[in-house]
Structures are given as C-alpha cells and as structure tokens.
C-alpha cells in the first residue's frame, strides 16, 4: 500500500515555480522561454524525475527505514529495497492523487507565472484545454496558495502602500463610505518602472493601528514607503528623525506623500 507522507506543498512546488518562472534575466537559472520549458519537461518521466530531485536532492531516502535504494513500480511509486515501503514522489504536494499528467500541471505553472497582467481560470482553461471551468478554477487557486511561501521575506527597497475596496457597487456610496465591501491594504515593491512582489491583507478600517500594523508586518525595516498621504500613516511621527520637503524620514520607514500608481 502506498504511503502518504506528510510533506509541505512548498517543499517541491516552490522549487518548481522557481524553475518554470519567467525571470527578468536568466541569471537565476530559470527557463527563459516556452521552447526551453517544453524541451526541459518534454515527457511525464522528465517531470517526475525533476520532482524526485527536488524531494531528495542527496538521493532517495526511505521515510521508514532511511534506506537509499529503491526501484519504480508500475504505479509510479518508489519501492524501498530495504523494507518494501512504497512512496509516491507527489505525496503531500498539490499533485497528490491527481488524475491529470504532471506535464499539464507544469504547463499550468508556466502559464500562471508568465502572465504579466494576472491569470484567470478562463484563461487557464483555454490554455490547457480543460473541459471544466471548475477544474481550472480549482487548479488556479491551488497554485496561488502554493505560491505563498510560509515565512517569506518582507518587501524591501521602495514600497508603495495604498488601500482599496473590493466588492460590488453600492448605490449612493462614494469612496470610504462603503459598508458592504471589503477594505484591502496593498503593498507593492517598485523595481524601476517594473513592480516586484505584492502583499495584501483585509483590514477592518483606515485606522493607524490597522494600516501601520500591515506595513510593519510586511515591509523590511529601512525600506522607503510611499503613500498617498493618508493621515493614518502619520502615527509614525513619534519616530521622525527629521522633516524635509515632502519626505518624512523615520527610524524604520520613509513616507512619501505621492500618488501610489503601482498599487492602483
């Protein structure tokens, strides 16, 4: 009977994302284009071997007896030569129990990470030729969850922070008077003309405790934070070192009263 080993999804999935992601430059070892991707993962076996390397970078180790020798079975499992324990290379990942080929999953990851304007379930369904929209929606949400790395690094450098409402139209309600919508705080790294990593959080209100708490949680100390000048951010004034022109330089953050175009 196959073993279901408890392994964090990110153990293998994050490394796969790092490989299939389209980088600004190829210095990080990522695949630069679709042709390279298709050549790298040209078969189901190539995908499985890659996952095997990620899971056991120093060679196979049986989770039961620590044995280092195993042979593949007809069911795609690894059979330990020492104790007979069977292990699946996909156990504990988002690929576990999937009935779709790993090649399709890898193509999905390539497509999701290469979209500059965001990925949709409809787009994923069309690219993969999936018959069900629900399947595409489920895959997309699984991949998005896998892309959120536990213990991930905080944003750094120049970071733009803003807030927005998410929800439907409310008659007679303008701006911050919305009641039925969710208030979301957003922080975006600025990389020249490009944007980098993004952090979002649903917050209760526009108070300093909520907005500055979000900023401090997701932004690295010493970074420069650009806001639209909302007074809630000025609660950081007790830490002001000096005030010069439009910049509030504080001990942990610099708040710039400029429009946050990247967030918008």
Of residues 264, 93, 68, the one with CA closest to residue 165: 264
Which residues make beta-bridge pairs with 186?
162, 200
How many Å apart are CA 134 and CA 208, to the nearest integer? Answer: 40
Q: How confident is the model at residue 233 (pLDDT cuts 50, 70, 90)?
A: confident
pLDDT at position 80 is: 92
Q: How confident is the model at residue 249 (pLDDT cuts 50, 70, 90)?
A: very low
Q: Half-sphere exposure of 169 toward its Cβ, with a 13 Å CA cutoff? A: 2
Spatial strand order in the sheet of 2-3: 2-3, 86-87, 78-80, 70-72
pLDDT tens, residue by residue, 203-222: 998 888 898 888 888 888 77
pLDDT at 259 over 80: no
Residue with structure tokens 């039925």?
A: 180
Residue 263 contacts residue 188 (beta carbons within 8 Å): yes
Residue 190's SS3 state is strand
pLDDT at position 151 is: 66
Residue 158 contacts residue 147 (beta carbons within 8 Å): no
Q: What is the mean pLDDT of residues 116-122?
A: 85
pLDDT at position 251 is: 36
How many Å apart are CA 108 and CA 140, to the nearest integer? Answer: 8
pLDDT at position 160 is: 85
How many Å apart are CA 256 and CA 132, to the nearest integer? Answer: 47
pTM check: above 0.75: no
Bigger pLDDT: 99 vs 4: 99
pLDDT at 123 over 90: yes
How many Å apart are CA 43 and CA 165, to the nearest integer? Answer: 44
For the chain, the average pLDDT equals: 76
pLDDT at 130 over 60: yes
Bigger pLDDT: 16 vs 179: 179
What is the torsional sign of CA 183, 189, 191, 192? Answer: positive
pLDDT tens, residue by residue, 42-88: 999 999 898 888 888 888 988 889 889 999 888 888 999 999 999 88
pLDDT tens, residue by residue, 26-44: 444 556 678 888 888 999 9
């Amino acid at each position: 009977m196959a073993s279901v080993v408890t392994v964090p999804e990110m153990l293998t999935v994050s490394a796969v994302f790092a490989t299939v992601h389209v980088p600004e430059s190829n210095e990080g070892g990522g695949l630069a284009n679709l042709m390279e991707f298709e050549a790298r993962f040209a078969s189901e076996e190539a995908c499985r071997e890659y996952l095997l390397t990620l899971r056991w970078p120093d060679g196979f180790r049986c989770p039961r007896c620590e044995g280092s020798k195993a042979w593949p079975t007809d069911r795609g499992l690894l059979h330990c030569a020492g104790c007979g324990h069977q292990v699946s290379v996909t156990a504990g990942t988002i690929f576990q129990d999937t009935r779709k080929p790993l090649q399709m999953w890898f193509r999905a990851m390539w497509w999701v990470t290469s979209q500059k304007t965001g990925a949709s379930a409809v787009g994923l369904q069309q690219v993969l030729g999936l018959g069900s929209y629900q399947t595409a929606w489920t895959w997309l949400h699984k991949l998005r969850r896998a892309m959120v790395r536990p213990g991930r690094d905080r944003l750094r450098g120049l970071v733009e922070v803003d807030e927005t409402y998410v929800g439907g139209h409310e008659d007679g309600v303008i701006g911050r008077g919305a009641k039925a919508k969710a208030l979301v705080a957003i922080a975006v790294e600025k990389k020249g003309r490009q944007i980098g990593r993004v952090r979002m959080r649903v917050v209760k209100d526009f108070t300093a405790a909520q907005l500055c708490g979000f900023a401090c949680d997701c932004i690295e100390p010493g970074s420069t934070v650009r806001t639209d000048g909302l007074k809630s951010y000025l609660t950081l004034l007790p830490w002001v070192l000096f005030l010069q022109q439009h910049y509030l330089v504080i001990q942990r953050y610099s708040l710039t009263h400029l429009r946050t175009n990247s967030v918008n």
